Amino acid sequence: MRLVGKQTWVYKNQIYLNSTGTAVGPKEGQGPLGASFDIKYDDLHCGEDSWELAERRLMVESVDSCLQKVNLTNDDIDFFLAGDLLNQNVTTNYTARHHQIPLICMFGACSTSMETLAVGSALVDAGFANRILASTSSHNATAERQFRYPTEYGGQKPDSATFTATGGGTALVSKEKGPIRITSATIGRVMDLGITNPFDMGSAMAPAAADTIIRHFKDLNINQDEYDLIVTGDLSGVGSPILKEMVKEEGYDLGNKYNDCGLMLYHSDQEVFAGGSGCACSAIVTYGHIVKELISGNLNKVFIVATGALLSPTMIQQKETIPTIAHGVVLERVQGGE
């Protein structure tokens, strides 16, 4: 049985993360993790005419860079599991049109990175695919215009707001031996504790992350000591301490083993309010920085919990609260290196 406990999948076969590709925008490139990204743009337009085309370019290039590193072409991939933040998942659909890899389009807001990785690994484990790509992207300006205001509008944002990361991240998963193993994944429940403020998504998402982490520990009968690092996607400076406290209430003290991708991605003086957010946030930090740390041996076993606010501007205007979700995937360093 691959389902362990209530919500956790333990992959039976040896599933590997063979390669990753990342493409990022200017602020992400200038951030503390800048050196770990493959492609960096100095301009938010990424040489394109519209914001949407810029985001598409980031996703396309993250896929290309991921395949290039292991000398594979589009034809070598069985399925492309991807999603983004835009209506109708446009970035994903047009990227899949470009690469011509059979598409499984998914939406999990900012939890998409781990959602696609978990499901993709399950497909490979069960024999429905030999090689899959898990990919996601977000762009600061496309998210601003869809969820908030025009980019140049001079509205004041509160300190609890987050800054949508610009970037695309892609991972290649197969049974062929690689430097990193994907061992288990926990699929989250939708949580909603009544937060309505779209400028405070850290508070909205913390319960979802806490639920998934606690569920993961209980399902596998383990605790935080099992991991070198537990990261959340984009809880920011507001949501992170809430999450730690909520997990602590259930008897798990994450201590200094915990971090948040949205806080890792930027310097504190980069004017990103409470921290980074967006699909790309967890994707580029994981596929850029964390994967390199695993390969180099600085980390051995990490639990990545991508957090998503399933936010719709229409529903918020109808006075609905913000439902949130979090999916977690465990990455392990393969002893003995590559």
Partner 1 sequence: MDLFCKITYSYILHARSEHKVATKKKIKDDYKNSIKKYQPKPRYFINCLKAFLVGGAICCVGQGIQNFYMTVFHFSEKDVGNPTVATLILISALLTGFGLYDKLGQFAGAGSAVPVTGFANSMTSAAMEYKSEGIVLGIATNMFKLAGSVIVFGAVSAYIVGIIRYFFRLTIS
Summarize as ranges the residues that interact with partner 1 (CB under 8 A).
Answer: 49-52, 145, 149-160, 193-195, 200, 203, 206-207, 238, 241-242, 245-246, 249, 274
Which residue, 19 or 162, is less far from partner 1 as judged by CB?
162
Whichever of 50 and 298 has its CB closer to partner 1, that residue is: 50
Angle made by CA atoms 16, 85, 158, in degrees to the nearest 5? 115
Give the Cα separation of 220 and 286 in Å (integer): 23
Task: Write the single-letter amino acid at 159.
Answer: D
CA distance 89 to 95: 10
Q: How far is the CB of 27 from partner 1 (least distance, A)?
A: 14
Report yes or no: 205 and 309 within 8 Å, Cβ to Cβ: yes
CB 61, min distance to partner 1, A: 20
Which residue's CB is nearer to partner 1, number 106 or number 143? 143
Structure tokens at 30: 């200038």
The answer for residues whose C-beta is within 8 angstroms of residue 315's C-beta and 6 or more apart is none
Cα–Cα dist 244/252, whole Å: 9
Smallest separation (angstroms) from partner 1 to the CB of 124: 36
Chain Cα centroid distance, residue 168: 10
- Between 154 and 337, name the residue whose CB sits nearer to partner 1: 154
Shortest Å distance, C-beta 51 to partner 1? 7
Comparing CA positions, the residue from 8, 17, 3, 7 lying closest to residue 171 is 17
Task: Give min distance, CB of 323 to partner 1, in A.
Answer: 14
**What is the nearest approach in angstroms of partner 1 to the Cβ of residue 246?**
5
Count the Cβ atoms, other than its own, within 10 Å of residue 63. Answer: 28
The nearer residue to partner 1, 104 or 243, going by C-beta atoms, is 243
CB 115 within 8 A of CB 83: yes
How far is C-alpha 331 from the geometric centre of its chain's CA atoms? 13
Question: Do 206 and 239 form a contact (C-beta atoms < 8 A)?
Answer: yes
Closer to partner 1 by CB, 239 or 328: give it.
Answer: 239
Q: How far is the CB of 159 from partner 1 (least distance, A)?
A: 4
If the CB atoms of residues 49 and 269 are measured against partner 1, the closer one turns out to be: 49
